[in-house]
Chains A and B, each alone.
Chain A
Amino acid sequence: MEQKHYEVATLKEYGYKDYHILQTIFKIFGRILVAFIVMMLYFSIFIIFLQSINSSKSVTHFEHFTLKWYLEMFDNRQMRLAIQHTLIISASATLISTVLGTIIAVGINSLEKKKRQRILLLNNIPLLNADIVTGISLMLVFSCLLPIFPYLFGWKTLLIAHMFFTLPYVILSVLPKLREIDPNLLDAALDLGVKPRRALFKVIVPAVKAGIFSGALLAFTMSFDDFVVSYYTTGNGFDNLSIWIYGSIGRNSLTPAVYSFNTMITIITVLFLLTVHGFQTRRMKKNGKM
């Protein structure tokens, strides 16, 4: 075969300028900026980490490296209680919200368009309302119930409050996945004689697993980190970690042990997520090969 020699076509011939170099510069600049922003998101965590390995109680002066705060993590009784409360409330609120939220999402998804949009509008209120307004609102409702239940404020109100603002996250995570389900799938199950309730757990739940998981993750995150709503809805000395920290900052009596606790939580989370991610990619690779 004869090989003719051809010229290379240029952008100019077709009426375009060559912005190649500019694009490359922009790309590099973009990477640096993104790296900087992500760094800034983690900056405070890094400071907390530094403070947790500082032998001095001072936050302005680094004395020498120590792990003693990690050992004394649970020595402070108040802090220990606050951590316990936080974990109990977050875990139970997440669990209940995830289960109920999934069921509710199925319910919402089966509604007619108009009704669905109305309930979604209401569902946006806890999500978008100012924390302080949510907190005050809930406090007012609970206050109205005080004459009937005098010892209401405490873990009960805190749990209801946390469920109130975590449910929307679960619902909004599950709904899009529900919409992706092939409607025939459910019909097929029902056609095969499966009862609707059974079909819910056997057909729908497995299909929206990913949404439930991310919803639960978001719910836990929001609940674990919440300060303002908890601040207004708890009572009878039932403090969670945020409230305890807020109080300590006000009294200037923050112990470095809380920094170690925070760092430990971060490390555990990272490890947990890395494991999950590792499993996922391994499974993906395996599936890819098959």
Chain B
Amino acid sequence: MNDSYKKLAKPYEIWLYILALFPSLIMLVLVFLDTEGINFTDASFTFGNFSQLTESSTIIAFGNSLKFALLSTVLSAILGYFVAYRLFRSKFKNKFLILTILILPMWSNILLRIEALGNVMQPNNIITDLLSKIGIHVAIDIKGSSLAVLIGLVFTYLPFMILPIYTALEKIEPSLEEASLDLGATQLKTFWKVIFPLSTKGIVTGSIMVFLPCLSGFAIPEILGSGNIVLIGNVIDQFFRNMNYNIGALLALFIMILILGAIFLVQKVDKEGETLL
């Protein structure tokens, strides 16, 4: 490509330095201070913020976050791979349409969707009401439970798992599959020895795309967990809302370290960001 285009990327690099890297520095400073919000005038140096890391509430919230994020990732990976594989196998080769079917739900407000999902997780809801009108009486009551949060997380973030896996599957040369069959491997063997290993890139990307928002989200557990289940996101939100920026920043940085690890992992398997979208 032409050299004169190179400078086009420069302003963006600066933009990223200011908006993506600089705030981490501010947070790093905040961690060691005791301030009133972001006001540095009465700031005093302290290590006291770190004691929050050993508080049982933090540890429980963090454990919850990890648990839900891991569970949702594993579940979405299994379900997502299944869906992506069936889509890939179907005669339906229109990527645009598949993409839209998967992202269409996202055009509805996420909070509304979660709230609606929460409504039907209560024993009395619009569905049971309609069903009872035709003589069917059922009741489920899972709102406020871990299961409710898990269902909410999985079905909110599943598209982010399906898309990269589908993309990775689509990029596999069809002749590789033929070669494997030709060499005497059955369909099942071909899947495990050729298709699956070549699509792991998509699974890694998808898993990260699901794991991270699940780890840090606070709206879904708050609504579906009815306040019973506290994740690290809720804790951070509380601290910032109470103007305790120092501890908030500390916890946020902690999450960020995890995420940076994930970003490096993505970079490793997918240097040019091919399966990310």
Interface residues of A (CB under 8 A from B): 16, 19, 23, 30-31, 33-34, 37-38, 40-45, 47-48, 50-51, 54, 59-62, 100, 103-104, 106-111, 116-117, 119-133, 136-138, 140-141, 143-144, 146, 160, 164, 167, 169, 172-173, 175-176, 179, 183, 186, 190, 196, 199-200, 214, 217-218, 221-222, 224-225, 227-228, 232, 241-242, 245-246, 249, 254, 258-259, 262, 265-266, 269-270, 273, 277, 280
Contacts and interface: CB of A to CB of B under 8 A. Distances in A.
A62 B129 contact: yes
Contact of A262 (B13, B26, B37, B112): B112
Contacts, number: 291
A228 B124 contact: no
A274 to B, nearest CB: 9
Nearest to A117: B271
29 contacts: A16-B186, A30-B86, A38-B101, A44-B108, A45-B105, A47-B119, A51-B119, A51-B126, A61-B124, A103-B8, A104-B9, A110-B3, A117-B271, A124-B276, A126-B16, A132-B217, A136-B249, A137-B19, A137-B20, A137-B27, A141-B22, A164-B15, A167-B12, A176-B272, A176-B274, A221-B107, A245-B112, A262-B112, A270-B104
Contacts of A30: 82, 86
A164 B109 contact: no
Interface in B207-224: 208-209, 212-213, 215-219, 223
B240 A172 contact: no
* A-B pairs with lowest CB-CB distance, top 5: A107-B8, A130-B216, A107-B9, A137-B23, A110-B1
B7 interface: yes
A44 B116 contact: yes
A60 B127 CA distance: 8
Nearest to B223: A249
Interface in B225-277: 233, 236-237, 240, 245, 248-249, 252, 255-256, 259, 262-263, 266-267, 271-274, 276-277
A227 B111 contact: yes
Interface of B: 1-13, 15-24, 26-27, 30, 37-38, 79, 82-83, 86-87, 94, 96-97, 99-117, 119-120, 122, 124-127, 129-130, 133, 155, 158-159, 186-188, 208-209, 212-213, 215-219, 223, 233, 236-237, 240, 245, 248-249, 252, 255-256, 259, 262-263, 266-267, 271-274, 276-277
